[in-house]
Structure 1
Amino acid sequence: MHTRFLIALAVLCGLLCAACSTPPAESGQQAPNTSVSQQASPPQAAPPSSDKVLPKSEPVSVEIAKIGARSSLVPLGLNKDKTVQVPPVEQPMQAGWYTAAPTPGERGPAIILGHVDGNKQPGIFFRLREMAPGDEVVVARQDGNTARFRVTRVDQVAKAEFPTQAVYGDTAGAELRLITCGGVFDRSARSYQDNIIVYAQLT
């Protein structure tokens, strides 16, 4: 994978987490679980990689029954200053996909981003930390195909230790990464200290 692509995606993660900059509403909403270890969870055994991949086609929506999450997907590219775009924090239930990565179902890691919260409301990935190996993620595509992914691993990592290569490096088959903010909310920095990262493979 090109170094320029890896650098851009590393910047992407930092910008996404900076955008999750408001704690959930205090009335009737529960803050993200901060009792989870700040270290990455031990790697889970991944199922054998499949050679089955789909042709390139833009994703139109993502659905995760386990956490009650469903959203259309907006394309995310680069801003004029070469920083990576993120879903609008004013619309925290909106998810987006990074257009420089493979589309979901293509060989390689597709990237879907969502806020844990925003505008004092829970975001589309507010419950992402509840995901576990075996859970399903469904992505509808513009070509009419549905890409179904099975979760293989869920990590919570400090932003300063973001595993760029593990998340964005080349893969033998079609994979998916879901990324949001997590951990303790730093009120002075107005951002969360960690990332929640879900790894999944096409089934």
Structure 2
Amino acid sequence: MRRFPRYGSRTGSPADAAMAALTVFALCSGSWLLRDAAGTQAPPQPSAAQAGAGLDGRTGGRERAAVPALPPSPPVRIRIPAIRVDAPLTGLGLTSTGSLDAPPTGRRNLAGWYAAGTTPGEQGTAIVAGHVDDAAGPAVFHRLGALARGSTIEVDRRDGGVAVFTVDAVEAYPAKDFPDEKVYGAARRPELRVITCGGPSSPATGYQGNVVVFAHLTGSR
């Protein structure tokens, strides 16, 4: 498990800092992976060419131009055309141990977002997560590691709008060296992280790391 700050439209406030010490995030353990999956093709991993040198979550990553932040509105669907993702989103809370809960197993084309945090399009860092596979085969974010910089992510919102993000980087991290602040840190612009399992895996341990997509808001409609 690792620290996972709660975020809202006032990311970086003293209240957020206090909550960060109490909240942890676990991915690729327990129900995130049904480890007896048979015959599942290994998910692609991001290449060095897709890494984002200089990304810093504390300052909103590279200071590229971004469009104005959107008002809060829960997300209902995520689309990533380059890897053929078109999936509903469900709100995720925390378990009794303080870990981020997982989307229900058995629903392979379902992703989740951290519902106590920033909504996609708001100023700050919004978090979306989903399974890479399960016992039946590839799941919603199986091809996340194949995503390229410059790709588009669209998030449908409950208010009827669509938040459009551009991918800045796609990176993979071993669990023991996961860069919490870089991934979850406060941002001055609207940013999105999309996370799934990645790295080497075995039946005994499951996946040994995470694939993380870094993106920022570049449009809306």
Tell me the TM-score range normalised by the shorter chain.
0.7 to 0.9
Give the stretch that moved more between structures: 78-87 or 155-164: 78-87
Structure 1 residue aligned with 2:41, among 26, 30, 33? 30
Structure 2 residue aligned with 1:174, among 165, 182, 190? 190
| Equivalence for 1:17 | 28
| Equivalence for 1:153 | 169
| Equivalence for 1:43 | 53
Alpha-carbon RMSD across the aligned residues, in angstroms, is: 2.3
- TM-aligned CA deviation for residue 31 of structure 1: 1.4
Pairing 1:104–2:114 present: no
Pairing 1:194–2:209 present: yes
Distance (whole Å) between structure 1 residues aligned to residue 76 and residue 124 of structure 2: 18
SS in 2 for 1:97: strand
Distance (whole Å) between structure 2 residues aligned to residue 23 and residue 199 of structure 1: 30
Structure 1 residue aligned with 2:80, among 46, 58, 64? 64
Note closer, same or farther for the CA distance 1:195–1:7 as it changes in structure 2 (3 Å cut): farther
Distance (whole Å) between structure 2 residues aligned to residue 3 and residue 108 of structure 1: 14
SS in 1 for 2:99: coil
Distance (whole Å) between structure 1 residues aligned to residue 17 and residue 190 of structure 2: 21
Distance (whole Å) between structure 2 residues aligned to residue 93 and residue 8 of structure 1: 31
After TM superposition, list the pairs within 5 Å mapping 1:67-106 onto structure 2. 67-106=83-122
Distance (whole Å) between structure 2 residues aligned to residue 41 and residue 48 of structure 1: 16
Q: Which runs of 5+ in 2 are unaligned?
A: 1-11, 56-61
Residues 120 and 163 in structure 2, CA contact (< 8 A), matched pair in contact too: yes
Note closer, same or farther for the CA distance 1:158–1:51 as it changes in structure 2 (3 Å cut): same
Give the stretch that moved more between structures: 47-56 or 129-138: 47-56
Residues 126 and 192 in structure 2, CA contact (< 8 A), matched pair in contact too: yes
SS in 2 for 1:17: coil
Note closer, same or farther for the CA distance 1:89–1:134 as it changes in structure 2 (3 Å cut): same
Distance (whole Å) between structure 1 residues aligned to residue 96 and residue 81 of structure 2: 36
- TM-aligned CA deviation for residue 44 of structure 1: 6.6
Residues 41 and 154 in structure 1, CA contact (< 8 A), matched pair in contact too: yes
Q: Which runs of 5+ in 1 are unaligned?
A: none
Percentage of identical aligned residues: 36
Q: What is the TM-score normalised by the length of structure 2?
A: 0.80
Distance (whole Å) between structure 1 residues aligned to residue 65 and residue 122 of structure 2: 13
| Equivalence for 1:141 | 157
